Amino acid sequence: MLTLVLAESSIERVPKQLAEHPSVIAQAQRRGKPPGSLILDRSYHHSGMRMLERQDPSQAFEKRGRPDIAFHILLQVLGSPLNREGLLRTYVHTTEDKVIEIDPQIRLPRNYDRFVGLLEQLYEQGSVPTGEHPLLRIQDCTLTRLVDESRASMTIAFSTVGESTTMKDACSLMTGTSAPVVLIGGFAHSHFEQSTTKIADHIFSVDKEPLDAWIVAARVVYEYECGMKLPKKRLRVTEGRAFNNRPS
């Protein structure tokens, strides 16, 4: 079982200081929602975010307003054979220390606006759907606590400042352990906080250039599958089935 954590993901609601910015009000009107219930998004609120950055340069906005990153990663990993086998747990940890727990059986919307709508609903209600068996649930939780509670046998983070290693070699380390946890940055630029790197047993860099987080995530999941020979195992099942279905 692999646990994949998108760490320090750029997901949050529009902050109070931006609630009256024209870019936010326009979007709120278009969607018929209160400004404070919108998810911050650099694509739509760029001018407002730049204004805040200029007013208070200590505000680190580079790691904010990119819910699309989690979207691209989730589409890659939730559709994988590993997840379909029930061998993947996926969590989204955010810069505000919230954790979104994802039911592996969720079928995520393929459309970005609908994904963001789902996040808005999640922040509003705490879970989606509400009730006993939510597909998404959000709670206050630090990354340290999340990794602790997943009883990680080994924690590996991927970062450009890590030790140069191929993805294959990084994943072969995990294949031998019972409950590996992988941390991938859910942000566009910048680096992990020290509090994150401290959790990791290994920090690896798998290319000479920074790769998009969704590319790293896709490769981790695939190499982990290969390490446990899942591609062959799943094809054998098909062949078996095809054989059984032959008219006798």
- Footprint of a second copy (CB under 8 A): 30, 43, 66, 68-69, 72, 75-76, 79-81, 84, 110-114, 164-168, 188, 205-209, 211-212, 214-215, 218-219, 222, 226, 231-232, 234-235, 237-239, 241
Minimum CB–partner distance for residue 67 and a second copy (Å): 10
Residue 224 to residue 39: CA distance in whole angstroms: 32
Strands (E) across 186-233 are located at 202-205
Nearer Cβ to a second copy, position 143 or 217? 217
Residue 194 to residue 124: CA distance in whole angstroms: 30
Minimum CB–partner distance for residue 198 and a second copy (Å): 23
Minimum CB–partner distance for residue 131 and a second copy (Å): 26
Nearer Cβ to a second copy, position 8 or 68? 68
Nearer Cβ to a second copy, position 46 or 151? 46
Alpha-carbon distance values, 51 to 25, 47, 61, 107, 113 (Å): 15, 6, 11, 37, 25
CA distance between the termini of the chain: 39
Q: Which one, of 227, 236, 221, 228, lies nearest residue 74 by Cα?
A: 221
Minimum CB–partner distance for residue 246 and a second copy (Å): 15
